[in-house]
Amino acid sequence: MAMLPRWILLPLLLILRISWSDAVPLQQFSPDPDDSIENCGGENGAPLMTPCKSAIILDAQTSTTLKCEGDEPMSWWTSQSQYVHVKSFNNTEDPARPFGTSVDLIEVTADYVAAYYCVKNSKFSQIAKEEQSDEVMIELVNQGYASSIYVYVNDPDTKLVDSHNVVTARQYTDVVIPCKPAMPDTECCWRPVMEK
């Protein structure tokens, strides 16, 4: 059996130890590795949204603009409507989509985390304000009357979005407790708080 000289063996062992080490950083989460464009629209008359992704991640205190183009006027809807700054524009670049609208997200925080929907006015105007919800908007996306994008915010100060909901339940009944993380890789765990 051949023996390796000590000056070769020691570096080999060191290399093997490093390659098996837990100190190697884990790959960072990528919410959209294939740049999925499943909801950006543009097909079958649906509004065309830019950026054309199903989700984006913004750093806290940064700003961005979401654009939407279509063959008729459109409106924006999100559950975080108090933060929406909407502007309309004439889209001269694409005659098939002469109408445009944009929403500016300015100095974002975790409170901006939500799905943002661009909806054709012909359908949006038929929905009463109290009936507007994510579920209704998702159905409009499925029918080709809307497009959507989900906005996450990498906010180091806030990992969970405040839902402002009061949840009540009766004993021995099912209940859904909302929990909305600000980033897609945030893990949430519910633990009961025991009274002293």
Instruction: Name the DSSP letter for residue 194.
Output: P
Q: Which of 185, 142, 147, 152 is nearest to 37 (CA)?
A: 147
Do 41 and 47 touch, CB atoms closer than 8 A? yes
CB-side neighbour CA atoms (13 Å) of 32: 17
Residue 51: pLDDT band by 50, 70, 90 thresholds? Answer: very high
Tokens of 41: 């629209």
If phi > 0 it is left, if psi is from -120 to 50 it is alpha, else beta; for residue 27 that is: beta
Question: Mind listing the pLDDT tens digit for each residue in 14-23?
Answer: 444 433 333 3
**Residue 196: CB partners within 8 Å, gap ≥ 6?**
none
Residue 190 has pLDDT above 80, yes or no: no
CATH topology classification for 48-154: Immunoglobulin-like (2.60.40)
Question: Mind listing the pLDDT tens digit for each residue in 112-162?
Answer: 999 999 999 999 989 888 899 899 999 999 999 999 999 999 998 888 887
**pLDDT at residue 168 in the model:** 85
Question: Mind listing the pLDDT tens digit for each residue in 102-118?
Answer: 999 999 999 899 999 99
**pLDDT at residue 28 in the model:** 35
Listed by start position, the domains of the chain span: 48-154
Comparison of pLDDT for 31 and 193, the residue scoring more: 193
Residue 43: phi, psi to the nearest 5? -95, 150
Residue 25 has pLDDT above 80, yes or no: no
What stretch of H or E contains 12? helix 6-19
